[in-house]
Amino acid sequence: MTIESYLNNLNQRYKLGNATEHTFRGDLQQLLETLLPEVRATNEPKRQKCGAPDYILTKKDIPIGFIEAKDIGNKDLEGKKKTGNKEQFDRYKASLSNLIFTDYIDFHIYQDGEFVTKIAIAEVVDHQIKPLPDNFASFTNLIKDFAIHIGQTIKSSKRLAEMMAGKARLLSDVIEKSLLSDEVNQENTTLQEQMMAFKDILIHDITPKGFADVYAQTIAYGLFAARLHDPTLNTFSRQEAAELIPKSNPFLRKLFGYIAGADIDDRIKWIVDNLAEIFLACNVEDILKNYGKSTKMEDPIIHFYETFLAEYDPKLRKARGVWYTPAPVVNFIVRAVDDILKSDFELPQGLADTSITTVKVKTDIANKTFKSGYKEVDREVHKVQILDPATGTGTFLAEVIKHVHKKFKGQEGIWSSYAEKDLLPRLNGFELLMASYAMAHLQIDLLLRETGFKAKTNQRTKIYLTNSLEEYHPDTGTLFANWLSSEANEANHIKRDTPVMCIIGNPPYSGESANKGDWIMNLMEDYKKEPGGKQKLKEQNSKFINDVM
């Protein structure tokens, strides 16, 4: 539809004398979709929180703009009059970052709550619509520019979680099918190599479906973490994301750059780029702040993750026992541990203790191969080492930081130095799910920033992607495997050499654990026997004893 035909249609209906603002909606919809072929203009979309604008413009399922239409000849398209629609105008301008108010022939554009410009393509003369052809070209350019405005139009945490989950599901499905196809065709692709490395080092019984889940969550939460740290809200891409992932999480940073960088598999590139476009349309930091206010939750980042996982795959959530521990419970457990350290272990500073102890650790003699033999050496470490072996999204470790930080009220000047030298080296966490792992790093990073912590070095947060119920695994050769091995080896130093004093947290909430490696299952056998270790417990269904894992 041309602008001329649009105005002619309007004029024919307007001359009848019985038209309302609803009469012309179909005509404007057709005009918009003609001028913007990649955009869908939905008439009377689902209600937004601020109300119900008449049109929502979407591109690749992402909202890019809104239009509120009034009857032809409306003289208050700036919402200045106290009577009529001022309250509605103010509400829309405050809530919708890319907005047009129009009477179908005069168009007023607002961006980020501010008036930008206006243009009329016709005027009413003697009860007829008279075109203004000199303005047609400018109008076309303005509408096209309106459609490419970068505004944070996704403001709902639930909507972001739904869109993230939808793209992640699609990504997982494509990756799984690609892996199965590679297997059938006996192709040794990068995806196959990566899955085998993951299987050798981290989860031995992982399936193509399971690996596809890990891969999809790595990309989704890599982009999430990157966007949260993005100072330039008007630009964002997967290439930019690789540089924005915090250096405190070197594994996710390297891994994301490898699987979503220049050599990304062509079969998933388009989905990842589309997911980046979703993040471009939102301010993640603001969404999380608003989510915390609306839910009255202290840790909105954790609840957002639960919302995502519930949308992405509720069965995966149940199988891995991903359930949020209420804040009062976490707070009580942390305070109880602090009290026990003071009363039973005679450590007056409790969880804030900085005392040092000496332990014997095994170090590789040749420093090249793990078959060359080990030598025991003395090493000084902090005495009060804290480990959450199923850290999930880092709730317990975060509560330890909050608890210790309270002791520095009035001493903020020494907090950063203390945290870097005497707190972070003592906080250890293990996690098996990629999305939980990414969110744990994110939560600790954001919490430290809130406390005023400023690091002098690029010290990594000691939360590791590893299986708490597995022993050490050697390097298997590929670059991807090297990173996994490095992550597993660093976790190994904690498993093998660190004198953990406080194991804190909650195990995954699952009646029967899905984590059934040979090592842990063999250890569990003694636990399932009667005192004396000869006869098995006379349990009707002994598998539920595995819930300790």
Q: What is the mean pLDDT of the chain?
A: 81
Model pLDDT, residue 517: 55
Report residue 371's pLDDT band, with 50, 70 and 90 as the boundaries.
very low
Give the residue-averaged pLDDT of 308-326: 70
Extract the tokens encoding 200: 């050798």
Give the residue-averaged pLDDT of 453-466: 88
CA-wise closest residue to 229 among 182, 265, 283: 283
pLDDT in tens, 143-193: 998 887 767 778 888 888 888 888 888 888 888 888 888 888 877 778 888
Q: Across the beta sheet with 500-503, what order do the strands follow?
A: 463-465, 427-431, 385-388, 500-503
Specify the DSSP class assigned to residue 378.
E
Please report the beta strands in 383-491, taking only residues with DSSP state E, as ranges in sequence order.
385-388, 427-431, 463-465
Which residue, chain included where needed, has tokens 């008036």? 115
Q: What gap in Å lies between CA 26 and CA 43, rounded to an integer?
A: 8
Alpha-helical runs (H) found in 248-390: 250-259, 266-280, 284-295, 300-312, 314-319, 327-343
Strands 62-69, 55-59: pairing is: antiparallel
344: region left, alpha or beta (phi > 0 left; psi from -120 to 50 alpha): alpha
* Count helices and strands in the chain by DSSP H and E runs: 19, 14
Looking at the predicted structure, is the pLDDT value of residue 36 above 90?
yes
- Identify whether the C-beta of residue 27 lies closer than 8 Å to the C-beta of residue 19: no
225 contacts: CB under 8 Å, gap ≥ 6: 244, 245, 246, 249, 252, 438, 441, 442
Whole-number Cα distances in Å, 493 to 369, 469, 486 = 16, 14, 11
- Identify whether the C-beta of residue 139 lies closer than 8 Å to the C-beta of residue 3: yes
Q: What gap in Å lies between CA 397 and CA 126, rounded to an integer?
A: 73
Going along the chain from its start, the domains and CATH numbers come out as: 3-147 (3.90.1570), 157-319 (no CATH), 327-513 (no CATH), 514-549 (no CATH)
Instruction: Using the Cα atoms of residue 398, residue 404, residue 409 and residue 412 in order, give the sign of their dihedral.
Output: negative
Is the model more confident about 480 or about 393?
393
Whole-number Cα distances in Å, 334 to 339, 354, 444 = 9, 17, 16
Instruction: Using the Cα atoms of residue 246, residue 250, residue 255 and residue 257 in order, give the sign of their dihedral.
Output: positive
Q: What gap in Å lies between CA 531 and CA 526, rounded to an integer?
A: 9
pLDDT in tens, 271-293: 888 888 889 888 888 888 765 45
Model pLDDT, residue 22: 80
Extract the tokens encoding 97: 């970052």
Give the residue-averaged pLDDT of 368-396: 79
Q: What gap in Å lies between CA 510 and CA 487, rounded to an integer?
A: 26
Q: What gap in Å lies between CA 431 and CA 322, rounded to an integer?
A: 11
Whole-number Cα distances in Å, 112 to 97, 101, 231, 286 = 4, 14, 18, 14
Specify the DSSP class assigned to residue 351.
G
Q: What gap in Å lies between CA 18 and CA 12, rounded to an integer?
A: 11
342 contacts: CB under 8 Å, gap ≥ 6: 348, 349, 350
The secondary structure of 268-279 as a DSSP string is: HHHHHHHHHHHH
Q: What gap in Å lies between CA 394 and CA 431, rounded to an integer?
A: 9
Report residue 512's pLDDT band, with 50, 70 and 90 as the boundaries.
low
For residue 365, give the 3-state DSSP assignment: coil
Q: What gap in Å lies between CA 438 and CA 441, rounded to an integer?
A: 5
pLDDT in tens, 193-237: 888 888 887 777 788 998 898 888 888 888 998 998 899 988 898
Looking at the predicted structure, is the pLDDT value of residue 486 above 90?
no
